Structure 1
Amino acid sequence: MPITCTENADSRVVTENQSAELTYTLVGSDDPLAAMTLLKTTAPESYQGLPRQNPTLEPVYIDQTNPDRCIWLGTVTYAVNSAGGASSPSTGSSSFSFDTGGGTQHITQSLGTTASYAASGTAPNFRGAIGVTHDSVEGVDILVPVYNFSETHYLPDTQVTSSYKGVLFNLTGKVNSGSFRGLAAGECLLLGASGTQRSDGASWEITFKFAGSPNRTGMSVGAMTGISKKGWEYLWVRYGDVEDAYSSTLVKQPVAAYVEKVYEQGDFAQLGIGTT
Protein backbone atom coordinates (compact mmCIF):
# COMPACT_ATOMS: atom_id res chain seq x y z
CA MET A 1 0.00 0.00 0.00
CA PRO A 2 1.55 3.34 -1.01
CA ILE A 3 1.81 6.06 1.59
CA THR A 4 -0.93 8.69 1.37
CA CYS A 5 -1.15 12.28 2.58
CA THR A 6 -4.60 13.83 3.09
CA GLU A 7 -5.37 17.31 4.40
CA ASN A 8 -7.52 17.24 7.54
CA ALA A 9 -11.01 18.69 7.76
CA ASP A 10 -9.98 21.08 10.57
CA SER A 11 -6.95 22.35 8.64
CA ARG A 12 -6.33 25.95 7.49
CA VAL A 13 -6.35 27.94 10.72
CA VAL A 14 -5.48 31.43 9.48
CA THR A 15 -4.49 34.74 11.07
CA GLU A 16 -4.93 37.29 8.29
CA ASN A 17 -1.64 38.48 6.76
CA GLN A 18 0.31 36.91 9.62
CA SER A 19 0.16 33.12 9.74
CA ALA A 20 -1.62 29.96 8.66
CA GLU A 21 -1.52 26.31 9.72
CA LEU A 22 -2.34 23.32 7.55
CA THR A 23 -2.57 19.79 8.99
CA TYR A 24 -2.34 16.46 7.19
CA THR A 25 -2.80 12.79 8.00
CA LEU A 26 -0.25 10.44 6.47
CA VAL A 27 -0.91 6.70 6.32
CA GLY A 28 1.03 3.74 4.98
CA SER A 29 4.67 3.86 6.15
CA ASP A 30 6.75 3.53 9.30
CA ASP A 31 9.56 5.53 7.70
CA PRO A 32 9.54 9.16 9.01
CA LEU A 33 11.82 10.31 6.17
CA ALA A 34 9.40 9.01 3.55
CA ALA A 35 6.48 10.58 5.39
CA MET A 36 8.24 13.96 5.68
CA THR A 37 9.20 13.91 2.00
CA LEU A 38 5.59 13.32 0.98
CA LEU A 39 4.39 16.03 3.39
CA LYS A 40 6.72 18.59 1.82
CA THR A 41 5.65 17.50 -1.65
CA THR A 42 1.95 17.79 -0.79
CA ALA A 43 1.93 21.05 1.19
CA PRO A 44 2.31 24.17 -0.99
CA GLU A 45 5.49 26.24 -0.64
CA SER A 46 3.39 29.31 0.11
CA TYR A 47 -0.15 29.92 1.27
CA GLN A 48 -1.98 33.24 0.81
CA GLY A 49 1.37 34.90 0.13
CA LEU A 50 3.01 33.54 3.29
CA PRO A 51 6.18 31.41 2.98
CA ARG A 52 6.23 27.87 4.31
CA GLN A 53 8.19 27.25 7.51
CA ASN A 54 9.77 23.93 8.52
CA PRO A 55 7.04 21.25 8.68
CA THR A 56 6.65 19.00 11.74
CA LEU A 57 5.72 15.31 11.83
CA GLU A 58 4.24 13.48 14.83
CA PRO A 59 3.60 9.73 15.13
CA VAL A 60 -0.03 8.86 15.89
CA TYR A 61 0.17 5.07 15.48
CA ILE A 62 3.29 3.11 14.56
CA ASP A 63 3.28 -0.65 13.85
CA GLN A 64 6.58 -1.71 12.32
CA THR A 65 5.23 -5.19 11.56
CA ASN A 66 2.33 -3.66 9.65
CA PRO A 67 3.67 -0.39 8.16
CA ASP A 68 0.53 0.01 6.04
CA ARG A 69 -1.34 0.78 9.28
CA CYS A 70 1.07 3.49 10.50
CA ILE A 71 -0.39 6.97 10.94
CA TRP A 72 1.41 10.31 11.13
CA LEU A 73 0.16 13.84 11.83
CA GLY A 74 1.85 16.45 9.65
CA THR A 75 1.68 20.16 10.54
CA VAL A 76 2.80 22.87 8.14
CA THR A 77 2.90 26.52 9.25
CA TYR A 78 3.12 29.61 7.10
CA ALA A 79 4.24 32.97 8.48
CA VAL A 80 5.91 36.26 7.63
CA ASN A 81 9.68 36.17 7.82
CA SER A 82 11.74 37.89 10.53
CA ALA A 83 12.05 41.09 8.47
CA GLY A 84 8.27 41.39 8.27
CA GLY A 85 7.98 40.44 4.60
CA ALA A 86 5.95 37.67 3.06
CA SER A 87 8.89 35.96 1.41
CA SER A 88 12.65 35.81 1.61
CA PRO A 89 14.40 37.93 -1.05
CA SER A 90 15.97 35.88 -3.81
CA THR A 91 19.69 35.96 -4.58
CA GLY A 92 20.40 38.77 -7.01
CA SER A 93 17.57 40.98 -5.73
CA SER A 94 18.06 44.29 -3.90
CA SER A 95 16.24 46.93 -1.87
CA PHE A 96 16.84 50.65 -1.41
CA SER A 97 16.19 53.39 1.16
CA PHE A 98 17.17 57.05 1.44
CA ASP A 99 16.71 60.27 3.38
CA THR A 100 17.65 63.88 2.74
CA GLY A 101 17.82 64.95 6.36
CA GLY A 102 21.14 66.62 5.68
CA GLY A 103 24.06 67.21 8.00
CA THR A 104 25.58 70.12 9.87
CA GLN A 105 28.54 72.19 8.79
CA HIS A 106 30.42 75.00 10.49
CA ILE A 107 30.74 77.96 8.16
CA THR A 108 32.44 81.31 8.56
CA GLN A 109 31.04 82.96 5.42
CA SER A 110 27.44 83.78 4.54
CA LEU A 111 25.97 83.71 1.05
CA GLY A 112 25.47 87.43 1.38
CA THR A 113 24.88 90.09 4.02
CA THR A 114 21.26 91.22 3.66
CA ALA A 115 21.39 94.03 6.21
CA SER A 116 23.74 95.74 8.67
CA TYR A 117 23.15 98.31 11.39
CA ALA A 118 25.42 100.61 13.37
CA ALA A 119 24.89 102.55 16.59
CA SER A 120 26.45 105.50 14.84
CA GLY A 121 27.94 106.05 11.45
CA THR A 122 28.33 103.09 9.07
CA ALA A 123 28.62 99.46 10.16
CA PRO A 124 31.93 97.83 9.14
CA ASN A 125 31.76 95.68 6.02
CA PHE A 126 33.12 92.19 6.81
CA ARG A 127 32.30 90.89 3.30
CA GLY A 128 30.13 88.04 4.53
CA ALA A 129 32.28 86.92 7.46
CA ILE A 130 30.08 85.66 10.31
CA GLY A 131 30.58 86.34 14.01
CA VAL A 132 33.62 88.58 13.67
CA THR A 133 35.34 89.54 16.92
CA HIS A 134 38.44 91.57 17.51
CA ASP A 135 40.77 88.67 16.73
CA SER A 136 38.70 85.86 15.20
CA VAL A 137 35.80 84.83 12.99
CA GLU A 138 33.55 82.53 15.00
CA GLY A 139 31.09 81.42 12.27
CA VAL A 140 27.91 79.37 12.77
CA ASP A 141 26.67 75.79 12.39
CA ILE A 142 24.10 75.31 9.62
CA LEU A 143 22.15 72.47 8.02
CA VAL A 144 23.58 71.47 4.65
CA PRO A 145 22.09 69.12 2.03
CA VAL A 146 23.37 65.55 2.39
CA TYR A 147 21.71 62.74 0.47
CA ASN A 148 22.00 59.64 2.67
CA PHE A 149 21.00 56.37 1.06
CA SER A 150 21.52 52.67 1.60
CA GLU A 151 21.18 49.61 -0.59
CA THR A 152 20.77 45.99 0.46
CA HIS A 153 21.91 43.41 -2.09
CA TYR A 154 21.64 39.63 -1.95
CA LEU A 155 24.84 38.40 -3.55
CA PRO A 156 25.89 34.81 -4.32
CA ASP A 157 28.49 33.22 -2.09
CA THR A 158 30.82 32.88 -5.09
CA GLN A 159 31.01 36.68 -5.35
CA VAL A 160 31.63 37.43 -1.67
CA THR A 161 35.20 36.18 -1.50
CA SER A 162 38.01 37.35 0.78
CA SER A 163 39.24 39.48 -2.10
CA TYR A 164 35.81 41.10 -2.48
CA LYS A 165 35.64 41.86 1.24
CA GLY A 166 39.02 43.54 0.86
CA VAL A 167 37.60 45.69 -1.94
CA LEU A 168 34.79 46.86 0.35
CA PHE A 169 37.32 47.68 3.06
CA ASN A 170 39.53 49.65 0.69
CA LEU A 171 36.65 51.63 -0.87
CA THR A 172 35.14 52.65 2.47
CA GLY A 173 35.80 56.35 3.08
CA LYS A 174 36.42 57.05 -0.61
CA VAL A 175 34.45 59.14 -3.09
CA ASN A 176 33.37 57.99 -6.53
CA SER A 177 35.86 58.48 -9.33
CA GLY A 178 33.08 58.14 -11.93
CA SER A 179 29.34 58.59 -12.16
CA PHE A 180 27.46 56.49 -9.58
CA ARG A 181 23.69 56.30 -9.03
CA GLY A 182 23.24 59.57 -10.90
CA LEU A 183 25.85 61.37 -8.82
CA ALA A 184 28.79 62.93 -10.62
CA ALA A 185 32.39 62.07 -9.77
CA GLY A 186 33.27 63.43 -6.34
CA GLU A 187 29.68 63.65 -5.08
CA CYS A 188 29.22 60.18 -3.51
CA LEU A 189 31.00 58.95 -0.38
CA LEU A 190 30.96 55.27 0.63
CA LEU A 191 30.31 55.25 4.38
CA GLY A 192 30.71 51.49 4.69
CA ALA A 193 29.21 48.06 4.06
CA SER A 194 27.97 45.32 6.40
CA GLY A 195 27.23 41.75 5.41
CA THR A 196 25.69 38.59 6.82
CA GLN A 197 25.72 35.14 5.29
CA ARG A 198 22.16 33.92 4.81
CA SER A 199 20.75 30.70 6.21
CA ASP A 200 20.92 28.99 2.81
CA GLY A 201 24.73 29.17 3.02
CA ALA A 202 24.85 30.09 -0.67
CA SER A 203 24.32 33.84 -0.56
CA TRP A 204 25.03 37.00 1.44
CA GLU A 205 22.91 39.95 2.52
CA ILE A 206 25.08 43.07 2.22
CA THR A 207 23.99 46.61 3.04
CA PHE A 208 25.94 49.50 1.51
CA LYS A 209 25.67 52.99 3.01
CA PHE A 210 26.40 56.13 0.99
CA ALA A 211 26.18 59.90 1.35
CA GLY A 212 25.86 62.37 -1.49
CA SER A 213 26.91 66.01 -1.50
CA PRO A 214 26.65 68.18 -4.63
CA ASN A 215 29.58 69.57 -6.59
CA ARG A 216 29.46 73.35 -6.76
CA THR A 217 30.73 75.96 -9.20
CA GLY A 218 30.59 79.74 -9.44
CA MET A 219 30.90 80.27 -5.70
CA SER A 220 31.87 83.62 -4.20
CA VAL A 221 33.71 84.37 -0.97
CA GLY A 222 33.99 88.08 -0.23
CA ALA A 223 35.54 89.69 -3.29
CA MET A 224 36.72 86.31 -4.66
CA THR A 225 34.53 84.76 -7.37
CA GLY A 226 34.51 81.73 -9.67
CA ILE A 227 35.32 79.25 -6.90
CA SER A 228 34.55 75.58 -7.60
CA LYS A 229 34.66 72.56 -5.29
CA LYS A 230 33.62 68.93 -5.54
CA GLY A 231 31.00 67.63 -3.16
CA TRP A 232 33.31 66.14 -0.55
CA GLU A 233 36.20 68.61 -0.88
CA TYR A 234 36.65 71.11 1.94
CA LEU A 235 36.55 74.87 1.45
CA TRP A 236 38.11 77.10 4.06
CA VAL A 237 38.75 80.81 4.23
CA ARG A 238 41.74 82.83 5.43
CA TYR A 239 40.93 86.15 7.06
CA GLY A 240 43.09 89.19 7.42
CA ASP A 241 42.89 92.73 8.75
CA VAL A 242 41.74 95.02 5.96
CA GLU A 243 40.90 98.71 6.11
CA ASP A 244 37.18 99.16 5.56
CA ALA A 245 36.59 102.19 3.39
CA TYR A 246 33.07 102.70 4.75
CA SER A 247 33.95 102.88 8.45
CA SER A 248 37.66 103.76 8.12
CA THR A 249 38.60 100.96 10.53
CA LEU A 250 40.58 97.75 10.33
CA VAL A 251 38.20 94.76 10.07
CA LYS A 252 38.45 91.03 9.48
CA GLN A 253 37.73 90.21 5.84
CA PRO A 254 38.30 87.10 3.68
CA VAL A 255 41.61 87.49 1.88
CA ALA A 256 42.07 83.95 0.47
CA ALA A 257 40.03 80.78 -0.08
CA TYR A 258 41.33 77.22 -0.32
CA VAL A 259 39.73 74.05 -1.65
CA GLU A 260 41.22 70.94 -0.05
CA LYS A 261 40.96 67.31 -1.14
CA VAL A 262 40.31 65.28 2.03
CA TYR A 263 38.98 61.97 0.58
CA GLU A 264 40.66 59.68 -1.91
CA GLN A 265 38.79 58.56 -5.02
CA GLY A 266 37.77 54.98 -5.75
CA ASP A 267 36.17 53.00 -8.57
CA PHE A 268 32.68 52.13 -7.28
CA ALA A 269 32.22 49.68 -10.16
CA GLN A 270 34.32 47.32 -8.03
CA LEU A 271 31.39 47.04 -5.59
CA GLY A 272 29.75 44.70 -8.08
CA ILE A 273 26.28 46.25 -7.71
CA GLY A 274 26.25 48.37 -10.87
CA THR A 275 26.74 52.11 -11.11
CA THR A 276 23.54 53.49 -12.69
Structure 2
Amino acid sequence: MARVEQSYTEHSKSIDKNGKYTSAEIPYLVFDAADEDEALAAVLASAPASCRELPLESIEIDERANETTYRVNAIYREEEVSAVPDSDDDDDESPTLSFDCGGGTKHLLYSLAQKKVYGDKDAGGAIGWNGKSGDDCEIAGVDIPTAQLRETYTKQMRISRLTTSYKRSVASLVGKVNSGSFKGWSAGEVMFLGMSYSTPAKKASKVTVTFNFAIQPNESNVKIGEHSVSKKGFEYAWAISKSVAAGGAPKIEVEGIYVDQVCEYASFSALGL
Protein backbone atom coordinates (compact mmCIF):
# COMPACT_ATOMS: atom_id res chain seq x y z
CA MET A 1 0.00 0.00 0.00
CA ALA A 2 1.34 3.44 -0.95
CA ARG A 3 2.67 5.68 1.86
CA VAL A 4 2.44 9.49 1.54
CA GLU A 5 4.68 12.10 3.19
CA GLN A 6 4.30 15.85 2.75
CA SER A 7 7.38 18.00 2.12
CA TYR A 8 7.44 21.12 4.32
CA THR A 9 10.51 22.77 2.80
CA GLU A 10 9.53 23.28 -0.84
CA HIS A 11 6.05 24.75 -0.81
CA SER A 12 5.32 27.24 -3.59
CA LYS A 13 2.78 30.00 -2.91
CA SER A 14 1.83 33.35 -4.45
CA ILE A 15 -0.24 36.34 -3.38
CA ASP A 16 -1.68 39.35 -5.19
CA LYS A 17 -1.04 43.02 -4.42
CA ASN A 18 -3.69 42.92 -1.71
CA GLY A 19 -2.01 40.06 0.11
CA LYS A 20 -4.59 37.49 -0.96
CA TYR A 21 -3.32 34.03 -1.85
CA THR A 22 -3.78 33.21 -5.53
CA SER A 23 -2.03 29.84 -5.85
CA ALA A 24 -0.13 27.17 -3.94
CA GLU A 25 1.74 23.98 -4.78
CA ILE A 26 2.35 21.45 -2.01
CA PRO A 27 4.77 18.61 -2.84
CA TYR A 28 4.36 15.09 -1.52
CA LEU A 29 6.55 12.01 -1.65
CA VAL A 30 4.75 8.75 -2.34
CA PHE A 31 6.52 5.51 -1.41
CA ASP A 32 5.70 1.90 -2.35
CA ALA A 33 3.32 2.90 -5.18
CA ALA A 34 2.64 0.23 -7.78
CA ASP A 35 2.22 2.81 -10.57
CA GLU A 36 1.38 6.44 -11.37
CA ASP A 37 -2.34 5.93 -10.83
CA GLU A 38 -1.81 4.62 -7.29
CA ALA A 39 0.55 7.51 -6.50
CA LEU A 40 -2.02 10.07 -7.69
CA ALA A 41 -4.84 8.39 -5.79
CA ALA A 42 -2.79 8.25 -2.60
CA VAL A 43 -2.08 12.00 -2.65
CA LEU A 44 -5.68 12.81 -3.56
CA ALA A 45 -6.82 10.91 -0.48
CA SER A 46 -4.26 12.64 1.76
CA ALA A 47 -4.26 16.24 0.50
CA PRO A 48 -6.66 18.74 2.14
CA ALA A 49 -9.53 20.05 0.04
CA SER A 50 -8.27 23.63 0.39
CA CYS A 51 -5.14 25.61 1.27
CA ARG A 52 -5.26 29.26 2.36
CA GLU A 53 -8.89 29.31 1.20
CA LEU A 54 -7.81 28.15 -2.27
CA PRO A 55 -9.65 25.07 -3.60
CA LEU A 56 -7.74 21.98 -4.66
CA GLU A 57 -7.47 22.15 -8.45
CA SER A 58 -5.42 19.08 -9.42
CA ILE A 59 -2.97 16.39 -8.37
CA GLU A 60 0.03 16.10 -10.70
CA ILE A 61 3.10 13.85 -10.84
CA ASP A 62 6.30 15.91 -10.82
CA GLU A 63 8.81 13.09 -11.23
CA ARG A 64 9.43 9.41 -10.66
CA ALA A 65 12.37 8.95 -8.27
CA ASN A 66 12.58 5.18 -8.71
CA GLU A 67 10.38 2.18 -9.47
CA THR A 68 8.02 2.76 -6.51
CA THR A 69 8.69 6.36 -5.37
CA TYR A 70 7.01 9.41 -6.88
CA ARG A 71 7.10 13.15 -6.27
CA VAL A 72 3.53 14.43 -6.58
CA ASN A 73 2.22 18.00 -6.27
CA ALA A 74 -1.17 19.13 -5.00
CA ILE A 75 -2.14 22.30 -6.89
CA TYR A 76 -4.38 24.92 -5.28
CA ARG A 77 -5.60 27.91 -7.27
CA GLU A 78 -8.37 30.46 -7.19
CA GLU A 79 -11.09 29.70 -9.68
CA GLU A 80 -10.88 31.75 -12.86
CA VAL A 81 -13.95 33.08 -14.60
CA SER A 82 -13.76 33.13 -18.36
CA ALA A 83 -14.58 36.41 -20.09
CA VAL A 84 -16.65 34.44 -22.60
CA PRO A 85 -19.12 31.82 -21.37
CA ASP A 86 -17.92 28.35 -22.29
CA SER A 87 -20.19 25.35 -22.09
CA ASP A 88 -17.17 23.03 -22.16
CA ASP A 89 -15.56 23.45 -18.75
CA ASP A 90 -12.82 20.88 -19.20
CA ASP A 91 -10.04 20.30 -21.70
CA ASP A 92 -10.73 16.65 -22.35
CA GLU A 93 -11.82 17.27 -25.93
CA SER A 94 -10.10 15.26 -28.62
CA PRO A 95 -6.95 16.94 -29.98
CA THR A 96 -6.56 17.85 -33.64
CA LEU A 97 -4.02 15.70 -35.47
CA SER A 98 -1.66 16.78 -38.27
CA PHE A 99 0.53 14.21 -40.02
CA ASP A 100 3.54 14.75 -42.25
CA CYS A 101 5.56 12.16 -44.16
CA GLY A 102 8.59 13.70 -45.81
CA GLY A 103 11.83 12.50 -47.28
CA GLY A 104 15.00 11.87 -45.34
CA THR A 105 18.05 9.59 -45.45
CA LYS A 106 19.52 6.74 -43.47
CA HIS A 107 23.03 5.34 -43.57
CA LEU A 108 23.33 1.78 -44.85
CA LEU A 109 26.52 -0.26 -44.35
CA TYR A 110 25.36 -3.55 -45.86
CA SER A 111 23.37 -4.07 -49.05
CA LEU A 112 20.24 -6.19 -49.42
CA ALA A 113 21.82 -7.95 -52.38
CA GLN A 114 25.32 -7.56 -53.79
CA LYS A 115 26.75 -8.78 -57.11
CA LYS A 116 30.49 -8.93 -57.74
CA VAL A 117 31.15 -7.89 -61.33
CA TYR A 118 34.95 -7.78 -61.30
CA GLY A 119 37.89 -8.80 -59.07
CA ASP A 120 38.54 -11.59 -56.61
CA LYS A 121 37.59 -9.87 -53.36
CA ASP A 122 34.20 -10.69 -51.82
CA ALA A 123 32.84 -7.70 -49.88
CA GLY A 124 30.24 -9.87 -48.13
CA GLY A 125 27.54 -7.27 -48.70
CA ALA A 126 29.57 -4.44 -47.16
CA ILE A 127 29.14 -1.18 -49.08
CA GLY A 128 32.28 0.88 -49.67
CA TRP A 129 34.72 -1.61 -48.09
CA ASN A 130 38.31 -0.42 -48.49
CA GLY A 131 39.53 -3.96 -49.18
CA LYS A 132 41.68 -4.11 -46.06
CA SER A 133 41.47 -6.38 -43.00
CA GLY A 134 42.01 -6.09 -39.27
CA ASP A 135 42.29 -2.63 -37.76
CA ASP A 136 42.62 -1.12 -41.25
CA CYS A 137 39.23 -2.44 -42.36
CA GLU A 138 36.76 0.36 -43.10
CA ILE A 139 33.22 0.29 -44.50
CA ALA A 140 32.05 3.67 -45.80
CA GLY A 141 28.39 2.78 -46.42
CA VAL A 142 25.93 4.93 -48.34
CA ASP A 143 23.02 7.26 -47.55
CA ILE A 144 19.70 6.08 -48.99
CA PRO A 145 16.25 7.74 -49.08
CA THR A 146 13.86 6.94 -46.24
CA ALA A 147 10.61 8.33 -44.89
CA GLN A 148 10.55 10.83 -42.03
CA LEU A 149 7.21 10.79 -40.20
CA ARG A 150 5.96 13.52 -37.88
CA GLU A 151 2.68 13.97 -36.02
CA THR A 152 1.45 17.17 -34.40
CA TYR A 153 -1.43 17.30 -31.93
CA THR A 154 -3.18 20.60 -31.24
CA LYS A 155 -5.43 20.91 -28.21
CA GLN A 156 -7.30 23.58 -26.27
CA MET A 157 -6.20 23.53 -22.63
CA ARG A 158 -7.03 25.56 -19.56
CA ILE A 159 -4.30 28.07 -18.74
CA SER A 160 -4.65 27.09 -15.10
CA ARG A 161 -3.51 23.58 -15.98
CA LEU A 162 -0.23 24.77 -17.51
CA THR A 163 1.50 24.95 -14.14
CA THR A 164 5.22 24.85 -13.49
CA SER A 165 4.87 21.23 -12.41
CA TYR A 166 3.14 20.35 -15.69
CA LYS A 167 5.86 22.10 -17.68
CA ARG A 168 8.52 20.18 -15.76
CA SER A 169 6.75 16.93 -16.60
CA VAL A 170 6.60 17.89 -20.28
CA ALA A 171 10.27 18.90 -20.35
CA SER A 172 11.31 15.59 -18.78
CA LEU A 173 9.65 13.70 -21.67
CA VAL A 174 11.39 15.55 -24.52
CA GLY A 175 13.62 13.13 -26.45
CA LYS A 176 12.06 10.09 -24.82
CA VAL A 177 10.30 7.25 -26.66
CA ASN A 178 6.91 5.72 -25.85
CA SER A 179 7.14 2.75 -23.49
CA GLY A 180 3.62 1.60 -24.41
CA SER A 181 1.23 1.99 -27.32
CA PHE A 182 0.48 5.64 -28.16
CA LYS A 183 -2.12 6.95 -30.61
CA GLY A 184 -2.06 3.72 -32.61
CA TRP A 185 1.73 3.39 -32.68
CA SER A 186 3.49 0.50 -30.97
CA ALA A 187 5.97 0.87 -28.10
CA GLY A 188 9.31 2.20 -29.33
CA GLU A 189 7.98 4.04 -32.41
CA VAL A 190 7.21 7.56 -31.11
CA MET A 191 9.62 10.22 -29.83
CA PHE A 192 8.27 13.34 -28.10
CA LEU A 193 9.89 16.48 -29.55
CA GLY A 194 8.27 19.14 -27.37
CA MET A 195 5.28 21.37 -26.66
CA SER A 196 4.55 25.01 -27.46
CA TYR A 197 1.83 27.64 -26.94
CA SER A 198 1.39 31.42 -26.95
CA THR A 199 -0.26 33.46 -24.22
CA PRO A 200 -3.81 34.39 -25.33
CA ALA A 201 -5.71 37.62 -24.98
CA LYS A 202 -6.19 39.03 -21.49
CA LYS A 203 -8.78 37.24 -19.35
CA ALA A 204 -8.99 34.26 -21.69
CA SER A 205 -9.18 30.96 -19.83
CA LYS A 206 -7.88 28.59 -22.53
CA VAL A 207 -4.93 28.42 -24.88
CA THR A 208 -4.05 26.36 -27.96
CA VAL A 209 -1.21 23.97 -27.16
CA THR A 210 0.83 22.08 -29.78
CA PHE A 211 2.60 18.76 -29.16
CA ASN A 212 5.17 17.48 -31.69
CA PHE A 213 6.26 13.87 -32.24
CA ALA A 214 8.68 12.05 -34.55
CA ILE A 215 7.68 8.58 -35.76
CA GLN A 216 10.08 5.76 -36.59
CA PRO A 217 8.34 2.41 -37.19
CA ASN A 218 9.70 -0.74 -35.58
CA GLU A 219 11.49 -3.08 -37.99
CA SER A 220 11.76 -6.84 -38.25
CA ASN A 221 14.11 -8.90 -40.40
CA VAL A 222 16.55 -6.05 -40.98
CA LYS A 223 19.31 -7.45 -43.20
CA ILE A 224 22.89 -7.01 -41.99
CA GLY A 225 25.12 -9.07 -44.22
CA GLU A 226 23.68 -12.57 -44.26
CA HIS A 227 21.88 -12.09 -40.95
CA SER A 228 18.47 -10.67 -39.99
CA VAL A 229 17.69 -8.72 -36.82
CA SER A 230 14.67 -6.94 -35.36
CA LYS A 231 14.77 -3.53 -33.72
CA LYS A 232 12.45 -0.94 -32.24
CA GLY A 233 12.06 2.28 -34.18
CA PHE A 234 14.59 4.42 -32.30
CA GLU A 235 17.03 1.65 -31.48
CA TYR A 236 20.35 1.57 -33.36
CA ALA A 237 21.59 -1.57 -35.11
CA TRP A 238 25.24 -1.91 -36.08
CA ALA A 239 27.85 -4.55 -36.82
CA ILE A 240 31.55 -5.30 -36.76
CA SER A 241 33.24 -7.19 -39.58
CA LYS A 242 36.32 -9.28 -40.17
CA SER A 243 38.25 -10.32 -43.27
CA VAL A 244 38.68 -14.04 -43.91
CA ALA A 245 40.17 -16.15 -46.67
CA ALA A 246 37.63 -17.93 -48.86
CA GLY A 247 39.06 -20.12 -51.60
CA GLY A 248 42.26 -18.09 -51.67
CA ALA A 249 40.38 -14.76 -51.99
CA PRO A 250 39.71 -12.34 -49.11
CA LYS A 251 36.11 -12.02 -47.95
CA ILE A 252 34.31 -9.77 -45.48
CA GLU A 253 32.13 -11.50 -42.88
CA VAL A 254 29.95 -10.04 -40.16
CA GLU A 255 31.59 -10.91 -36.85
CA GLY A 256 29.06 -9.37 -34.47
CA ILE A 257 25.69 -7.59 -34.62
CA TYR A 258 24.42 -5.28 -31.89
CA VAL A 259 21.14 -3.47 -31.24
CA ASP A 260 21.50 -0.53 -28.84
CA GLN A 261 18.82 1.35 -26.95
CA VAL A 262 19.94 4.97 -27.30
CA CYS A 263 16.79 6.74 -26.03
CA GLU A 264 15.00 6.42 -22.69
CA TYR A 265 11.49 4.98 -22.65
CA ALA A 266 8.62 6.72 -20.84
CA SER A 267 4.85 6.90 -20.61
CA PHE A 268 3.32 9.92 -22.36
CA SER A 269 0.20 9.86 -20.16
CA ALA A 270 1.33 13.01 -18.32
CA LEU A 271 0.83 15.02 -21.54
CA GLY A 272 -2.93 14.58 -21.23
CA LEU A 273 -3.51 13.67 -24.86
TM bracket, shorter-chain basis? 0.5 to 0.7
**Residue identity in the other structure for 1:196:** S
Aligned position for 1:107:
108
**For residues 182 and 207 of structure 1, what CA distance do their matches in structure 2 show?**
19
Instruction: Say yes or no: does 1:162 pair with 2:171.
Output: no
Question: Secondary structure of 1:238's match?
Answer: strand
Kindly report which structure 2 residues correspond to 1:135-150, keeping only aligned pairs within 5 A, or say none. 135-150=137-152
Contact 1:194 1:207 in 2 (8 A): yes
Deviations 1:187-226 (A, max 9, x none): 001111112222243122211111111111223322323x
After TM superposition, give the deviation of residue 93 of structure 1 in Å.
6.0
How far did 1:150 drift?
1.0
Aligned residue identity for 2:173: L
**Is 2:127 the counterpart of 1:125?**
no
The 2-side partners of 1:103 and 1:184 are apart by 22
C-alpha deviation, 1:253, in angstroms: 2.9
Question: Which of 240, 244, 254 is matched with 2:246 structurally?
Answer: 244
Alignment of 1:246-265 (within 5 A): 248-265=248-265
* 1:240–1:253 contact (8 Å) kept in structure 2: yes
TM-score of the two chains, using structure 2 as the length reference: 0.60
Say if 1:218 and 1:206 are closer, same or farther in 2 by CA, change over 3 A: same
Q: Which amino acid aligns with 2:176?
A: K
- Residue identity in the other structure for 1:179: S
- Matched-pair contact (CA < 8 Å) for 1:160–1:204: no
Question: What CA distance in whole angstroms lies between the structure 2 residues aligned with 1:93 and 1:240?
Answer: 54
Aligned 1:34-53 pairs, distance under 5 A = none
CA distance in 2, matches of 1:251, 1:194: 53
The answer on whether the counterparts of 1:124 and 1:244 sit within 8 Å (CA) in structure 2 is no
Offset from partner CA, 1:66-88 (integer Å, 9 cap, x none): xxxxxxxxxxxxxxxxxxxxxxx
Radius of gyration: which is bigger?
1
Aligned residues: 177
1:180-195 alignment, distance < 5 Å: 180-195=182-197
What is the match of residue 223 of structure 1? 226
Distance 1:102 1:269 in 2: 30
Q: In the alignment, which residue of structure 2 is the partner of 1:6? A: none
Partner residue of 1:172 out of 171, 174, 184? 174
Which secondary structure does the structure 2 equivalent of 1:130 belong to? coil
Distance 2:160 2:246 in 1: 67
Structure 2 residue ranges without an equivalent (≥5): 1-87, 132-136
Residue type at the aligned position of 1:128: G
Report sequence identity in percent. Answer: 35
Q: Is the 8 A contact 1:196 1:204 kept in 2?
A: yes
CA–CA distance in 1 between the matches of 2:222 and 2:153? 33
Q: Say what the alpha-carbon RMSD is for the aligned residues.
A: 1.9
Query: 1:192 is aligned with what amino acid?
Result: G
| CA distance in 1 between partners of 2:218 and 2:153 (Å) | 22
